[in-house]
Amino acid sequence: MTTVSSRRPPRLTTLLAVAATGAYLLIVLGATTALADAAAACPTWPACSTDALADPRLAVAWGHRLVAAAVGALVVLVTIVAWRAGTSRRVRTALALALVLYPVQVGLGALAATDPGSTVSTAHLLCGMGIFAALVGALAWQLEAETAGVGDAASVGEHGDADADGPIPATSVASDPPAAPAAARPSAEPTRGPLARVRAVAGVYARLTKPRLMWLLCLVAAAGMALAAGPALDARTVVATLSGGVLAIGASGTFNHVLERDADRRMARTADRPLATHEVPVPNAVAFGVLLGTASLAAFLTINVLAAALGLAAILFYSVVYTLLLKPHTVQNTVLGGAAGALPALIGWVAVTGRVGVPGLALAGVIFLWTPAHFYNLALAHKADYERGGFPMLPVVRGEAVTRKHVLWYLGATLLAASALAALTDLGWPYAAATVTLGAVFLWAVVRLHHERTEAAAFRAFHASNAYLGTVLVAVVVDALLL
């Protein structure tokens, strides 16, 4: 990845990022039940004509209206600055759309306050989403104009060397793959006792299960269960679902190790995996994966058949569809592969309800859209490694500038999906605070990535994405179970 000296984002970029964050705050506040209660306490507009001055809901209503006024002024300001700076037509068009929609948004908000109804409230929310999308679009195009062009050429596909959605030809892979790290090469080991050998073997097999993925995917399933059951969630369902999930993740990871062992040897960051270094024989690994998968289905069957079917689908999708069909053959592997991470949300919901529901699908949608915004940062940091492995990742095929832009687009889509989840459920303040605060942190890390274009910036955005989703999922669980 290209190394560029750190620069502070220009004034217009900062204003756009702040305006987008403010617009998102308004959307989330409007989508939560907390604001609905506040609207009931303040049924007039623009001021609250009520004698219940001690009602804390009035502070919420007044705060929402004051923030709306501030964001409106900010949209006007950023539009003026953009016009005076001579920005591109796309940026000015996006800002003009936000400027036109804002008074419509205010009018719908006034109607929703004085005569609340589902149609008006839905239109109000959709209009706010349109404003946010316009601001994110303006930010993406402005960042592209400011930062694209330095060391951003794609390795293949850009000049017709390979189809953009096809596999990387063998000639693009380094002919001399890096040797496995010294620690990963088989070597003479000192004699160890039986217990030490058992621990060593157990540790190697544990690595096959990709345990670092488990905490987040289990948290996704827990959020699905919490949304479905609320405080009535029982311990048996939790234990059975998470046990089945851990086993399914372990089976999927093991099969992935088996199927990618040759590619792993070509990549520096995966050359020490147990199958790549022959620490575990392939037949043993396959048997281990089958054992984990069977145990996973047995655990899910103690809940219901649909949960077991979704668990099996998750294993097959990651092991076969993603590993064999998507990852080595299409630049859209990360986007389509997001379905594997989204399935635990549906499994959690189905474990409680026995059927697929809209809130469960909405949570799965958040995970699906978050995946590219999350993983493209890692692909940027390990671009050369993925090229050696022969994988058509987006920065390898389309270049780093396109990848950075897609990170921002998918982040915006993730935040919109998170606001839709709030509108479809009874989530309140903990969820709103988590998605707005950590969403702003994630957005700022992505803006810095555009300007710095370093591995450190890519990893910073990668960790910000983890912090965002982890905090939001914890907030869902706390909100649904305790409040």
Token look-up 């803006």 returns: 447
Is the Cβ–Cβ distance between 218 and 267 less than 8 Å? no
Q: What is the pLDDT of residues 347-392, one digit of tens each?
A: 999 999 999 999 999 999 999 999 999 999 999 999 999 998 889 9
Mean pLDDT of the 231-236 span: 92
Picking from 111, 123, 107, 134, the residue whose alpha carbon sits closest to that of residue 19 is 134
Interhelix angle for 358-381 vs 333-353, to 10°?
Answer: 150
Is the Cβ–Cβ distance between 476 and 435 less than 8 Å? no
Q: What is the pLDDT of residues 247-275, one digit of tens each?
A: 999 999 999 999 999 999 999 888 999 99
> CA 134 to CA 326: how far, in whole Å?
31
Is the Cβ–Cβ distance between 454 and 200 less than 8 Å? no
* Helical H segments across 85-208, by residue range: 89-114, 118-147, 194-208
> CA 404 to CA 174: how far, in whole Å?
25
> CA 228 to CA 353: how far, in whole Å?
7
Instruction: Tell me if residue 302 falls in helix, strand or coil.
Output: coil
Looking at per-residue pLDDT, the higher value among 65 and 141 belongs to: 141
Q: What is the pLDDT of residues 80-118, one digit of tens each?
A: 999 998 899 999 999 999 999 999 988 888 787 766 666
pLDDT at 179: 41
Determine the residue type at 117.
G
**Predicted confidence (pLDDT) at residue 162 exceeds the cutoff of 60:** no
- Residues 64, 65, 69, CA angle at the centre, nearest 5°? 120
Taken in order of first residue, the domains within the chain and their CATH numbers are: 11-147 (no CATH), 203-482 (1.10.357.140)
